[in-house]
Amino acid sequence: MRRILIAGNWKMNHTAAEAGEFFKAFRPAPGAAELIICPPFTDIPVTRFFLEKSGVPWGAQNVYPEEKGAYTGEISPKMLADLGCSYVICGHSERRQILGESDAFVAQKVKAVLAFGMQPILCVGETLIERENGQAEARIREELCAVFQDLPKDKAAKVVVAYEPIWAIGSGQAAEAGDAEKVAFYIRQTIRALADKHTADQVRILYGGSVQSDNIIEFLKEKNIDGALIGGASLKSKELAEIYSKANSISS
Ligand code: PGA
């Protein structure tokens, strides 16, 4: 049984004071699904302060794949583990596109996160042009191969894969749940080929791209979709609590 995961990705939003306001108003009803929040680095201490006693884990949105050293401006997995992070988003399309992160670099990040006992949320997904040219699966396969081709199976099972079609992110135009399910199935089959069936059955696959409280259920009903990575809608405490409550209604 794969536990449903609802992951909030705040991106570059909320100052520490705004994060404090968010948490004061955040009252998710407990349930069987897992809920996490990935704030900007600067909000991790305040996030920890508010979430520590609640049982809601937190994560980060990025990491540099070295323990320490002369990497000005970067944050190491050791630092994130020290701040109590349980998850780290790796290879979000905004980082791949805006900051030029390569598949190989993202794979290094995934390994570094696992080495420090945290779980990577590996983002994969195609651009609109790749989709229109029928290259979506080939692109996603490349992104998966870079990570899973030489990962030990016990480590591979801990990776969470977020399928985020780039055209659906922040556009208000979510993918059709049935289409997202086809890609999630493809992702599971690809991991099965790169690792084995047992590993592929354990990996949680999320959908991301314009998820809100009014469409979350459609995605969670799909067999191979085990949760969601949520940007814009995770910035509003009531909306995120509502999404989580709907996820729990499916989990129970
Ligand atoms: P969105 O972002 O929910 O605002 O579309 C999702 C993401 O980029 O993780």
Summarised one tens digit per residue, pLDDT across range 36-87 is 999 999 999 999 999 998 999 999 999 999 999 999 999 999 999 999 999 9
Atom 2 in ligand 1: residue holding the nearest Cα: 231
Q: Is 38 in the pocket of ligand 1 (CB under 6 A)?
A: no
Torsion (CA) 241, 124, 83, 40 in degrees, nearest 10: -70
Q: Which atom of ligand 1 is nearest to the CA of 211?
A: 3
pLDDT in tens, 10-35: 999 999 999 999 999 999 999 999 99
Q: Is the pLDDT of residue 2 over 70?
A: yes
Q: 170 CB under 6 A from ligand 1?
A: yes
Any ligand 1 atom below 6 A from CB of 165 = no
Nearest-10 crossing angle of helices 16-25, 237-251: 50
- pLDDT of res. 169: 96
> Cβ(62) to ligand 1 under 6 A?
no
**Residue 89 near residue 9, CB atoms below 8 Å:** yes
**pLDDT grade for 1, boundaries at 50, 70 and 90:** confident
Residue type, 160: V
- Spatial neighbors of 132 by CB under 8 A, at least 6 apart, are none
Give pLDDT, residue 33: 98
The one-letter code for the residue type at 134 is: G
Residue 252 pLDDT class (50, 70, 90 cuts):
low
In angstroms, the CA 225 to CA 216 distance is 11
Q: pLDDT band at residue 251, thresholds of 50, 70 and 90? A: confident
> Span 150-175, mean pLDDT?
96
pLDDT at 241 over 90: yes
Ligand 1 site, residue 57, Cβ cutoff 6 A:
no
Q: Does ligand 1 come within 6 angstroms of the Cβ of 232?
A: yes
Pocket test for ligand 1, best of 5, 11, 161 (most atoms within 8 A of CB): 11
Residues 123 and 162 sit within 8 Å (Cβ to Cβ): yes
For the CA of 209, the nearest atom of ligand 1: 5
Catalytic residues: 92, 164
Q: Looking at ligand 1, which atom is closest to the CA of residue 212? A: 3
- Cα–ligand 1 centroid distance for 69 (angstroms): 32
The whole-number pLDDT of residue 237 equals: 98
**Using CA of residue 168, residue 237, residue 220, residue 159, what is the dihedral sign?**
positive
Which pLDDT tens digit goes with each residue over 98-146?
A: 999 999 999 999 999 999 999 999 999 999 999 999 999 999 999 999 9
pLDDT digits (tens, 9 = 90+) for 193-205: 999 999 999 999 9
Q: What is the pLDDT of residue 181?
A: 98
